[in-house]
Amino acid sequence: MSQSPVVIGVDSSTQSTKAAFTDAATGRLLAVGRAPHRVTGDGGARETDPEVWWNALREAVGAGLKESGVDPASVTGIAVAGQQHGLVVLDGGGRPLRPALLWNDTRSAPQAAELTAALGGPDAWTARTGSVPVASMTASKWQWLRENDPAVADATAAVRLPHDFLTERLAGTAATDPGDASGTCWYSTATGEYDPELLALLGLDTDLLPPVAATGATRIGSLTAGAAAELGLPAGIAVAAGTGDNMSAAVGLGLGGAGLLDHPVLSLGTSGTVFAATRTRPGTAVLSGFAAADGTYLPLACTLNCTLAVDRVATLLRLDREDATPGGEAVLLPYLDGERTPDLPTASGLLTGLRHDTTPQQLLGAAYEGAAVTVLRALDEVLRACGLDPAAPEVAGRPLRLVGGGAQGRMWVETVRRLSGRPVIVPSGGELVALGAAALAAGAATGEDPVAVAASWKAGDGPELEPVERDLATWERVGAVLDKAAPSLLS
């Protein structure tokens, strides 16, 4: 009996690779193969050898084939969603010259500030790219490499993002997409092309960069015979352009031109992100004004310190992550790795408001609250970037979709509900980044709109939790500490 067409969506994140084998007709996850990554670096350094990603992709696909029992001949397409912003530099043979600088490597903060000033300030950058250089952005990392390892920069024959590197290994063809390209700060969301003036400022030749496909679902080639042999898949299947992880999550949720527009999402992972798909081109220096994978826009704010930071506080207190209560008078800003939104790359954690009767459970609760207030304040800016008033009843009543690993934790969900006052949907679909990539693969294989495909899979649906009364006292207490502390956190 013949098997329904299967597509593979790859989520190559900071910590691991997941390969989601997905029924193309229904979106049912048949299996998810997994393989870990290794991140190295001390202080602000965060690096990974790109070959680790390729080896992990091979392992994850192999594990998914074994677990699912899928006939490889039924696989029709593959797409990669990767961690954004990472800088991969290759030699003429396509081999990495050094470990990739990851998105959460903060060493390039001085270069980000210098680049911002060199173009005339934040507004000048926003007008062109939709975003302002911060330590996370690829342009800042390239500038850091030029200054700190000029021999490697001079020897570079190709510059890639993480998902570009893997896509090129699959198809033998260099390509990127507007979504992930918009996180470089050398691609213009205003023109839909690389910006020649910014490339000149960075000393970066266009020939080093991959062509930009029309969308992340664009078929940019076919799986090569060599890659097919390594993966155990048939040669010639469709390879999509792919995209960045946040853009792919939006597709997986059915957000975009063929689905939901201006609906907010909060992703609770190593980082905390808030975003929404919109037709309005973002124009604020507070946010990253990204392009989406389907041709719309994806205003996004990212905080470096989310579940990982709170888990670290739990470890220090020798508590289970769920063994927490509201923080009382204690305020804890868990900026253990600097911060991105707000832009505080050299910040460290801050604890204030301790009393004699403050309990360990309250301290852990205060860490949740500090992380949640940081990301929820950014959510209001995302809504404004969509042309919406966050306080308007019809906007404030719009459900907040809560995704990522933290969305499976009771304390995270209840803290977000308490501090946002919004109805919350925890989508029933898992592995949304990989599922979004699977929809991009389906689009590449069939020509269908990937957002419409993902919307038909209904992974973004789930039970709606009613709003609870907003805890304005905690909101204002944490916000006041953040506003007062921000200047000192920069020193």
Q: Using CA atoms, how far apart are residues 38 and 60, in angstroms rounded to an integer? A: 15
Q: Using CA atoms, how far apart are residues 114 and 101, in angstroms rounded to an integer? A: 19
Q: Which residue is catalytic, options 11, 105, 245, 262?
A: 245
99 cis-preceded (ω within 30 degrees of 0): no
What would the 3-class secondary structure string for 115-156 be?
HHHHCCCHHHHHHHHCCCCCCCCHHHHHHHHHHHCHHHHHHC
326 contacts 465 by C-beta, under 8 angstroms: no
Q: Using CA atoms, how far apart are residues 479 and 483, in angstroms rounded to an integer? A: 6
33 contacts 56 by C-beta, under 8 angstroms: no
For the chain, the 3-state helix, strand and coil shares in percent, each to the nearest 5, are: 40, 20, 40
165 contacts 183 by C-beta, under 8 angstroms: no
245 is catalytic: yes
Binding site for substrate, by residue number, is 84-85
330 contacts 364 by C-beta, under 8 angstroms: no
**Short-list 296, 171, 159, CA closest to 237:** 171
342 cis-preceded (ω within 30 degrees of 0): yes
19 contacts 54 by C-beta, under 8 angstroms: no
Q: Using CA atoms, how far apart are residues 253 and 402, in angstroms rounded to an integer? A: 11
Annotate 237-257 with b (16+ C-beta within 10 A) or e (fewer): bbbbbbbbbbbbbbbbbbbbe
Q: Which active-site residues does the annotation give? A: 245
